[in-house]
Amino acid sequence: MEVTKSTEGFEAINPNGSLMRKVIHLDHLMMTIFEFHNGPMETPDPPHQHIHEQITYVASGSLKLFVEDREYLLNEGDVYKIESNLNHSIQTLTEYVKLVDSFTPLREEFL
């Protein structure tokens, strides 16, 4: 389907539904939308890394981004990029945060 409406396609990532994810993809292009409803976080998420390159648009809210040994304060409208295999994590600073991620290659574990 060519169109996904704003209220369609979200799935709960955790049992209480405070983290929601929507995945939209083609054969070689992927976008995910994450909605965090559990902020502000007391501590950052555990750092992780993956082979995928990532570009993220902060659609709503504020957060801290941690990449390797660097820390950034990000607000609505900011964009960040993560190269392959770098340790990174976030910490939401507002009650609600919405992130729009693009990945290459596709994150098969999200499908």
pLDDT tens, residue by residue, 38-58: 999 999 999 999 999 999 999
CA distance 5 to 81: 26
DSSP string, 14-64: STTSSEEEEEEE-SS-EEEEEEE-S-S-SSPPPPB--SSEEEEEEEESEEE
Q: What is the pTM of this model?
A: 0.95
Go through the domains of the chain in sequence order and give each one's CATH number: 20-110 (2.60.120.10)
pLDDT tens, residue by residue, 55-104: 999 999 999 999 999 999 999 999 999 999 999 999 999 999 999 999 99
Q: State which amino acid sits at residue 53.
A: E
